[in-house]
């Protein structure tokens, strides 16, 4: 998986024009719209500030947790209800030599996140089920709405709650509808809400709900 930080490679090139020496920076741009994962990572990286606290509310196999752990955030809290997901995430972090003290792994329902921390700059949800595992252990509408409300209650001013949604399965479609309904009614004096959908792509690509807090 490629994240934005891997893609910002700057090449330097000197050009000669009209007898003068011009210096240009040629930036190799990665197309962040080619995958929702890249779009979400780009958004999240935009909001992370050095020393901040961030949350992966659904760590699964640990890819998002790893991306957060490699950022300038000071600490990552990562939740999952499945012990196997916590183990996979732990193994991935260790494989990448992430210091143990940088990430707190929590095997609990993400609706309980306020019991573990009181403020966060970025909170990510990657909804659905873990590919290749029990599909009944998917995120579910009512629980997710409660969890996102919990997340918003501890989101810092100028912070981001980034939710990746999948409507390719029945529960995912219900969950997405409920999230859109809930978020479009969020107080506009406090939140900005954006909905990102790859509208010309096939097979229900994931979509993003991004919520930022003004105050
Ligand atoms: N972010 C992960 C990654 O990078 O590999 C993928 C996440 S996967 C699509 C969704 C995860 O949400 C699953 O691992 C599942 O166990 C977890 N999950 C489902 N319901 C949950 C809940 N109520 N609280 C916390 N995690 C939950």
pTM value? 0.89
Structure tokens at 160: 């981001």
Residues 6 or more apart in contact with residue 66 via CB below 8 angstroms: 89, 92, 93, 96, 98
Q: What is the per-residue pLDDT across 195-206, written as a single tens digit (0 to 9) for each?
A: 999 999 999 999
The angle, 0 to 180 degrees and rounded to 10, between the axes of the packed helices 170-184 and 141-154 is 40
- Is the minimum distance from the CB of 69 to ligand 1 under 6 angstroms? no
Per-residue pLDDT of the chain (215 residues; tens, 9 = 90+): 434 443 333 333 333 344 444 444 556 678 999 999 999 999 999 999 999 999 999 999 999 999 999 999 999 999 999 999 999 999 999 999 999 999 999 999 999 999 999 999 999 999 999 988 888 899 999 999 999 999 999 999 999 999 999 999 999 999 999 999 999 999 999 999 999 999 999 999 999 999 999 99
Q: Give pLDDT, residue 6.
A: 38
Three-state secondary-structure class, residue 124: strand
Q: What is the per-residue pLDDT across 112-133, written as a single tens digit (0 to 9) for each?
A: 999 999 999 999 999 999 988 8
The atom of ligand 1 lying closest to the CA of 166 is 9
User: Does residue 196 contact residue 207 with C-beta atoms inside 8 Å?
Assistant: yes
Nearest-CA residue for atom 24 of ligand 1 = 109
Taking the CB of residue 20, how many other CB atoms lie within 10 A of it?
Answer: 7
The atom of ligand 1 lying closest to the CA of 56 is 1
Bridge partners, 191 (sequence order): 213
Rounded Cα gap, residues 203 and 184, in angstroms: 25
Rounded Cα gap, residues 169 and 79, in angstroms: 23
Q: Give pLDDT, residue 93.
A: 98
Q: Is the dihedral of CA 88, 89, 93, 96 positive or negative?
A: positive
Q: Give pLDDT, residue 134.
A: 87
Q: How many residues does the chain have?
A: 215
Nearest-CA residue for atom 6 of ligand 1 = 60
Give distance in angstroms: CA of 162 to centre of ligand 1: 14
Structure tokens at 83: 């012990």
Rounded Cα gap, residues 39 and 17, in angstroms: 37
């Amino acid at each position: 998986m490629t994240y934005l930080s891997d893609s910002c490679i700057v090449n330097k090139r000197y050009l000669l024009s009209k007898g003068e020496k011009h210096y240009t920076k040629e930036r190799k741009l990665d197309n962040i719209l080619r995958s929702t994962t890249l779009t979400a990572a780009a958004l999240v990286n935009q909001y992370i500030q050095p020393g901040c606290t961030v949350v992966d509310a659904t760590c699964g196999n640990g890819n998002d947790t790893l991306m957060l752990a490699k950022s300038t955030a000071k600490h990552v809290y990562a939740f999952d209800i499945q012990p196997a997901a916590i183990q996979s995430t732990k193994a991935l972090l260790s494989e990448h030599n992430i210091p143990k003290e940088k990430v707190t792994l929590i095997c609990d329902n993400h609706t309980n996140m306020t019991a573990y921390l009181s403020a966060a700059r970025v909170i990510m949800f990657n909804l659905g089920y873990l590919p290749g595992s029990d599909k009944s252990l998917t995120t579910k509408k009512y629980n997710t709405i409660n969890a996102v409300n919990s997340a918003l209650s501890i989101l810092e001013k100028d912070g981001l709650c980034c939710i990746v949604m999948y409507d390719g399965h029945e529960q995912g479609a219900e969950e997405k509808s409920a999230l859109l309904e809930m978020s479009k009614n969020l107080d506009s004096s406090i939140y900005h809400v954006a909905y990102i959908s790859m509208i010309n792509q096939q097979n229900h690509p994931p979509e993003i709900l991004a919520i930022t807090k003004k105050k």
